[in-house]
Structure 1
Amino acid sequence: MKRRDFLAAAALPVLTGCEAPAEIAGGFTGINFERGHLLRDRRSWPAPASTQRTGVVIAGGGVAGLAAARALRQRGIEDFALLELEDQAGGNSRGGAVNGVPCPLGAHYLPVPGDDAREVQDLLEEFGLRQRVAGRWRYDERHLCHSPQERLFFNGAWQDGLLPLQGVEPETLAQYRRFAQGVARAGWFAIPVSKVSLAQVDPALDAMTFGAWLDLQQLTDPHLRWYLDYCCRDDYGAGIATVSAWAGLHYFASRHGFHAPGDGVAESEGVLTWPEGNAWLTRRLAAPLGGRQHTGQVVARIAVGRHGVEVDAFDAATSTLRRWQADHCIVALPLFVAARLVENPPPALREAAAQLRYAPWLVANVHLRAPLDDRPGAAPSWDNVVYDSRPGAEGLGYVDAMHQSLLPVPGATVLTCYRALGLAPARRQVLFDEPWTHWRDVLWAEFAAPHPDLPAKATRIDITRYGHAMSTPVPGIRRSAALAALQSRAAGQRLWFAHSDLSGYSIFEEALTHGHRVGSRVG
């Protein structure tokens, strides 16, 4: 039986005897596939209808592009233009609303940054999210994730935290402790990854998959491996059989470590979150740009000449091409896109684009007219995950957009459900081909056991599809000489690269750091 047919069939018996599903509206939103595919499919572009001069062109309005614009403004450089493909800047950190309830279209939280992420700390201070009180840094509690933070539906009930615990065997707990010891011995990891030189990265960890490393450590417990696979899919878009051992250990060692039950240390960390997710941050980054921000622009060509850079951008609203002439161009685009656009691309760009692999994602925002009934165990949390040990499981659970609300009586809300589809090309094609109703049925099946009343209480589903959501840190990426070369371009260059791809994986902190680094050096 195909997975699609299995999921659809799995939902049917659960609905029997329950309140009949209401008519539900839905569709795709958030990503304009047609614009993006122009770069792949179009063979020629019209002649430029106009030419405009500026000091710096920023190609790409994701977190890195917005951070580069902020860094330019901090230096007093206002002569720049930011070109963004979609109708809203922010990349994977954009937000929307369903029936008036704000919700994320992608990234939905930012961990409280450590001391290595100074650029992120400075941004949070600028936005009033942290301040120094009596010699200590204090974060605004209104923006920290409210408790309870996360729970797992496991063995028929909800439990606190995402590490499977209820009813597990002593050998499982012993393997949790052994993995904690392995993380503690793993070495130096940091966010951003540029704080650790390539010479300090263990070549063996970068050369093998995380699953192979676990095999070497004889860490075979299915509950431990489910949890580690979930963590990798959540941060990297693919599981332990795909990402490198360096990436699997980095997930824990660069932040809060891994703490086995009973060691007296809580594993959860401070998390900043908002109903609209990280769009709370990107909207504030974009707000000061005014007329320097140009949305709906398909960058079609980037060419470096003796006296400057030409950037051609196709305006989706007017179907005309504008040529930008600038002294410098900051390419804040995924590297596989940059390699298509840059004429005579540097060898390092071609090599890096060939090395990187991108994971497709799906984000479904489900509007509910009333709170869901709950199963026994832990109380409703911000992050809610269903244990699914079947091979190929893609669901990552959901976050509740109204979790941060202080309303005395719960009411309508939006559940933002995430799915990481892995690196198989066929899954990306399914993401593109299937109607929105297919994904509705997949969600009903995923949450059938903990929430059988979900179909009856849902009123609308808005689905955002990311065909190339994030670069996945497969073996060899962390020590890539090509990625290192793109980051170390010397002053005096006209073409600069700023994107989380340069770190080999996609999180807010990496993107912001790369954008700030380049924006602080251009010119």
Structure 2
Amino acid sequence: MGQGPSLIRRRTLLAATAAALAGCEDASRVTGGFAGANADLGHMLRDKREWAAPRTSRRTQVVVAGAGVAGLAAARALRMRGIEDFVVLDAESQAGGNSRAGEVKGIACPLGAHYLPVPGDEAREVQALLEELGLRRRVAGRWTYDERHLCHSPQERLYHDGEWRDGLLPVHGAGPGALMQYRKFAQLVERLSQEARFTIPLVRGRPSAVHASLDAVTFAAWLDAQGFNDPLLRWYLDYCCRDDYGAGIATVSAWAGIHYFAARHGFHAPGTAEGEPDAPLTWGEGNGWLTRALARPLGDRFRGGQLVARVAAQTHGVEVDVYDARTQSVERWQAAHCVVALPVFVAARVVENAPAFLRAHAAATGYAPWVVANLHLDAPLADRGGAPPAWDNVVHGGTSLGYVDATHQALNPVRGATVLSWYHAPGEAARADVLRQPWTAWRDAALAELTPIHPDLPRKLTHVEVARYGHAMAIPTPGSFARAGAPPRTARLSFAHADYSGYSVFEEAFTLGHLAGTAA
């Protein structure tokens, strides 16, 4: 499945929905706009050739450049070591990176990442964080998670053949051939996970010939070679890859496709005896709940609206020049050490005399653009029947990744106004389109996909806020696993970001950030 047909379908849907809305009196009352990342400020790094001389100079022991999950983890590690003389700098006014949260008409909602799977034993730094936050504790000798924060049931449903159905793996209409391929794929995942360790985070694993073989080809090519041609199975695997990596099976490596299942809970064919995987941790504001908790102890050590423009390691320290968006001036920080917790394509631009490994990562890493449209509804939607409303709601064959209900975790027994967070990963070719389109285009795209299923959606929609990410996450294409791992550090610089793992999940970013903060 390539990106071209998806873009064509999306443009057709946009045109059809715009025409429908033009004659609808409800359209004029829907307000909206953009939220989230400031693309114009970020693009200054790309467009500006020279920066003014710094007006002021400040000193601190450690500068953390970037306040995404990796930067916040590094700051926490510094505090755990007793280092309080540090500053965290970020271009955005709110810490959290792609895990920031928003609020629409008083309802908390995610602007990006919206859940955290229960971490495995290899992600011990994440486990420690969850214990610190009161989400994980020992009861009668066993580790348990606070049920208030585990995803409430029902968790997932799929709109397929005119009805909502439990789970996301298409079972309705799956004939004997499809079921046989489901079972065969489950057996292959199990076999591969026994032959090689698939770990999250990657730094706890051991590279093997199995990994290298899977890393050499696309997932689609590997599926072809294994004889997996059933459309239902391939749709599901493509959806899983788009959901986790922002790109489908024709783009990501076979290693990434297998890792999605083997590193967590496997793949369970219908009718097998395996139990259900643990419910993920989720909140109305998504992973913003976690990043706000990480940022809270920082106080004024977090400085937003600060675009890191230059990082220069020197013999006796490091200079970090930042552009202050409020004063439109450049300020210099002098420190003993800098944790560069920036995406690799940004780090390669701002680190003076960038190390070879950083330049190589930046040259080889592609990024998936994302759109998150938060749709405020003044009343619950009427449902089509079948499986009841769930936290995660996906349309089989849809162009998007579906939507999550921001109030799903609420304990109020009477459903009322809510926010649906609609996720769309249109592919690398659409990056310029993502940033060029007005917010109404994304409103229309969401309505085009969802209105046939929820005819009352246009009438109940009151407000739309759209978050756009031109470089939301690194795509694990063939060869990315070979480059993955904890980046080397120098005497003055440490590096941390999920990009060094080749794909973007909380555990990877947090672990690398913690390790960098521990060594700074």
Amino acid aligned to 1:379? P
Structure 2 counterpart of 1:126:
132
Match of 1:81 among 68, 87, 92: 87
1:455 equivalent in alignment to 2:458: yes
* 1:126-205 alignment, distance < 5 Å: 126-187=132-193, 188-199=197-208, 202-205=211-214
Normalising by structure 1, we get a TM-score of 0.95
Instruction: Answer yes or no: is the 8 Å Cα contact 2:488–2:495 preserved in 1.
Output: no
The partner residue of 1:415 within 409, 416, 420 is: 420
CA distance 1:134–1:268, shift in 2 (3 Å): closer
Contact 1:22–1:455 (CA<8 Å) still a contact in 2?
A: no
Distance 2:18 2:510 in 1: 45
Q: Secondary structure at the match of 1:44?
A: coil
Is structure 2 residue 386 aligned with structure 1 residue 358?
no
Equivalent residue letter for 2:158: L
Q: CA deviation at 1:493?
A: 1.6
CA distance in 1, matches of 2:322, 2:27: 46
Query: In 1, are the aligned partners of 2:192 and 2:210 still within 8 Å (CA)?
Result: no
Aligned to 2:510, which of 505, 509, 512? 512
Residues in 1 aligned to 2:503 and 2:388: alpha-carbon distance in whole angstroms? 33
Corresponding residue SS for 1:395: coil
From 216, 240, 264, the counterpart of 2:249: 240
Deviation at 1:10, TM superposition (A): 4.5
1:464 aligns with 2:461: no
Deviations 1:111-140 (A, max 9, x none): 111111100100000000011111011111
Residue 34 of structure 1 deviates from its aligned partner by: 1.2
Q: Distance in 2 between matches of 1:34 and 1:289?
A: 26
Read off the aligned partner of 1:472 and give its amino acid letter. I
What is the letter of the counterpart of residue 505 of structure 1?
Y
- Counterpart-to-counterpart distance in 1, 2:59 and 2:219: 49
Question: Is the aligned partner of 1:212 residue 2:221?
Answer: yes
Q: For residues 394 and 469 of structure 1, what CA distance do their matches in structure 2 show?
A: 18
Q: Closer, same or farther in 2 for the Cα pair 1:13/1:377, shift >3 Å?
A: farther
Contact 2:10–2:399 (Cα < 8 Å) also in 1: no
Quote the residue 1:500 is aligned against. 498
Aligned residue among 194, 208, 230 for 1:221:
230
Verify the 8 A CA contact 1:258 1:267 in the aligned structure 2.
no
Of 307, 310, 315, which residue of structure 2 is paired with 1:301? 310
- Which residue matches 1:475? 478
Contact 2:375 2:461 in 1 (8 A): yes
C-alpha contact 1:62 1:332 (8 A) present in aligned 2: yes
Contact 1:21 1:455 in 2 (8 A): yes
Partner secondary structure for residue 261 of structure 2: helix
Q: Deviations over 1:85-115 (max 9, x none)?
A: 1000000111010011100000000011111
- Please say if 1:339 is aligned against 2:337: no
Q: Is 1:256–2:261 an aligned residue pair? A: no
Q: Tell me the SS of whatever aligns to 1:396.
A: coil
- Residues 438-461 of structure 1: CA distance to partner in whole angstroms, max 9, x if unpaired? 111111111122112111110000
Residues 192 and 4 of structure 1, relative CA distance in 2, 3 Å threshold: closer
Contact 1:58 1:331 in 2 (8 A): yes
RMSD over equivalenced CA pairs, Å: 1.8
> Could you say which residue in structure 1 is the equivalent of 2:47?
41
Q: How many angstroms does 1:320 deviate by?
A: 1.4
1:252-307 per-position Cα deviation (integer Å, ceiling 9, x unaligned): 00001000000122444321000000111100100111121111000010111111
Written as runs of structure 1 = structure 2, the 5 A alignment for 1:7-86 is: 7-11=13-17, 21=27, 23-86=29-92
Counterpart contact for 1:367–1:461, Cα < 8 Å:
yes
Q: Secondary structure at the match of 1:479?
A: helix
Q: CA deviation at 1:166?
A: 1.3
Tell me, yes or no, if structure 1 residue 93 matches structure 2 residue 99: yes
Alignment of 1:379-458 (within 5 A): 379-388=388-397, 394-424=399-429, 427-458=430-461
2:503 and 2:131 map into 1 onto residues whose CA distance is 25
Change (3 A) 1:450 1:316: same
- CA displacement, residues 395-454 of structure 1 (integer Å, 9 cap, x when unaligned): 000000100111121000000000012222xx0011011111111111111112211211
Tell me how far apart the structure 2 counterparts of residues 339 and 443 of structure 1 sit (CA, whole Å).
Answer: 36
- Cα distance between partner residues in 2 of 1:512 and 1:201: 26
Structure 2 letter corresponding to 1:154: H
Matched letter for residue 410 of structure 2: S
Residue 197 (structure 1) shift: 2.3
- 1:507 counterpart letter in structure 2: V
CA distance in 2, matches of 1:252, 1:30: 31
Q: Which residue of 2 aligns with 1:487?
A: 487
SS of equivalent residue, structure 1 residue 496: strand
- Contact 2:313/2:319 (<8 A) preserved: yes
The DSSP-based 3-state class of the residue aligned with 1:66 is helix
Could you tell me the percent identity over the aligned residues? Answer: 62
- Output the CA distance in 2 between the equivalents of 1:449 and 1:146: 27
Between 234-243 and 178-187, report the one with greater CA deviation: 178-187
Question: How many pairs were matched up?
Answer: 511
Does structure 1 conserve the Cα–Cα contact (< 8 Å) formed by 2:18 and 2:444?
no
1:168–1:21 CA distance, 2 compared to 1 (3 A): farther
Please name the residue that 1:292 is paired with: 301
Q: 1:267 to 1:246 in 2, by over 3 A?
A: farther
Give the direction of change, closer, same or farther, for the CA distance of 1:5–1:270 in structure 2 (3 Å limit): closer
Instruction: Summarize deviations over 1:337-370 as a string: whole Å, max 9, x none.
Output: 0000011111111111101110000000000000
Query: 1:202: Cα distance to partner?
Result: 2.5
CA offset digits 1:449-476 (Å, max 9, x no partner): 2112111110000000000000010000
Q: Deviations over 1:16-68 (max 9, x none)?
A: 99995562001111111111011011122121111011111100000000000
Could you tell me which amino acid in structure 2 is paired with residue 451 of structure 1?
H
Q: 1:374 to 1:16 in 2, by over 3 A?
A: farther
Q: Give the residue type in structure 1 aligned to 2:445.
A: V
Distance across 2 between alignment mates of 1:357 and 1:136: 41
